[in-house]
Every structure is written in C-alpha cells, then in structure tokens.
Amino acid sequence: MQKLKNSDIIKRTQIFIGYDKKEHRAYEVCANSLKRRSKIKVNKLFSEDIPGWYREKEMHQSTDFTNTRWAVPHLMNYTGIGIFVDCDFVFLEDPAELIAKYYDPTKAIMVCKHPRYTPNSVVKMDGVAQHTMPRKNWASLIIFNNEHAAVKRGLSWKEANEHQPSRDLHQFKWLFDDDIGSIPLDWNCLDDYYHMEAPKAIHYTDGGPWFDDYQVTQYSDIWLEEEAYVKALNK
C-alpha cells in the first residue's frame, strides 16, 4: 500500500473538532494542541454553523456534536480525508503522522478499536446518564475516507440527518466490519483507563479540568499545561 506524502496529507485532509458551548475551554485547548503541532486545517464543528443541518440533539445525548460528526464527509464534498475528534482531546503529536503511517484507502473509516469496558461512573461529566454499548468511544476519533462508496451511501446528507436509531451510527452498523480500519490506541488514550507513558493523543472521556469535579485525573496536568499555553498566546 502506497503511503501518502506529508504535502499530500496536508492538502487532502481537514480536521473537525466537535464543539459544544458548555465545553468551550476544552475546544480551545484541543484546537490549539493541534494548531501548534500540525499544518492540517482545523475546523470548529458546531451545529449552528452547518448550512442546512436539521438533526436535533436527542434527550439522552450529552453534546451538540453527538450527531454532527456524521456531517464531515458532506462538508468536504465527499472528497479527501476528514478527521473528526471530540473536543475533550489533547494532541501531543501531529495527526499527519497518523495518516502517513496508518491510513488505508481501502477502508471507509479508521478508528481506535477500544475493547469493551465499563465506565467509571453511571453519569457523564455533565450529569447525563452514561451508557455502556458495543464499540463505545470508537466514534470519538474517526478518520473518514470521504470518497469511499460506503461513506457516500451510509452518510449521505439524508442519512446523516435522519438515520434512526442514532446509536447505530455510533456503532457503525451502516458499515461492514471489513470497512472499518484500525489505528493504535495511543491516538485515543482514554484518561483514567489506559496507562501509557507516551500517548499521541489523550481523550478525557469521563471529564477534564474544565469541569469542577474533574480537576485531578491521570493526565490532568498535561491538559492544564496545554491550557496555560493557550492563555499565554492570548495575553
């Protein structure tokens, strides 16, 4: 399989960070952790900014971007490579490295295939009930091959807005298993679940220091260092 050159990756790839008003601090830190390490274009993915988006958040869903991630291929006109990431990440390496080493153009998407696990809490950081399900957190970091036939079919504008139940999208039931490629878990290191010495990207899946109840976690010091960098930029 021929690897993409870095210049081609930058040209063909865009990153979309899920945005929710109540997690603005998390978004700022995530975005800046990417911008200081990568030349790939970074976009804020906010439902109010997506032309024609009409899918509303459901009662059991905790963030504005629970469903908007499925709009990424459309927003890129079903061309190139789209990377979606939840806003509660900090990147410590350039995602161009991830694409260069692991991108497989025969796959519709690529994700970190976390083994099934039991969350530490029965509620999420914002008080919404925590659900255990197959392929939990696989959709928190997705590399979309926007030109793949399965993406064009499964994430058409109509399907992205109307497919029910929405959990089927998150469990990738719209794909055959062979369409789902795998990337190393250190690109989606779950804070307080995985214990890695040198993660590439940390996912504060239960909550991070932008919430009062999550000031101290396994990797909270790294998040706070990244926020300090953001504050220094804005002085």
What is the structure's pLDDT at 136? 87
CA distance 37 to 50: 26
Q: Residue 166, Cβ neighbours under 10 Å: how many?
A: 17
| Residue 218: burial class (beta carbons within 10 Å; 0-12, 13-18, 19+) | middle
**pTM of the shown model:** 0.94
What is the structure's pLDDT at 128? 59
| 82-136 pLDDT tens trace | 999 999 999 999 999 999 999 999 999 999 999 987 777 666 565 555 667 789 8
63 touches 18 (CB < 8 A): yes
216 Cβ contact list (under 8 Å, min separation 6): none
What is the structure's pLDDT at 129? 59
Task: Look up residue 179 and give its DSSP letter.
Answer: G
What is the structure's pLDDT at 133? 77
Rg (CA), the chain: 17
What is the structure's pLDDT at 38? 97
| 43-73 pLDDT tens trace | 999 999 999 999 987 766 778 899 999 999 9
What is the structure's pLDDT at 165? 85
* Residue whose C-alpha is closest to residue 131's, from 189, 205, 220, 187: 205
Is 214 in a helix, a strand, or coil? helix
Q: What is the rounded average pLDDT of the residues 5-26?
A: 94
| 149-201 pLDDT tens trace | 999 999 999 999 999 888 899 999 999 999 999 999 999 999 999 999 999 99
What is the structure's pLDDT at 234? 86
* Residue whose C-alpha is closest to residue 113's, from 183, 166, 171: 183
* All domains of the chain in start order, with CATH: 6-233 (3.90.550.10)
Is residue 2 very low, low, confident or very high in pLDDT (cuts 50, 70, 90)?
Answer: low
What is the structure's pLDDT at 141? 98
Contacts for 226-231 with beta carbons within 8 Å, 24 or more apart?
226/29, 226/32, 226/33, 226/90, 227/25, 227/28, 227/29, 229/32, 229/36, 230/28, 230/29, 230/32
Length of the chain in terms of residues written: 235
Q: Residue 104, Cβ neighbours under 10 Å: how many?
A: 13
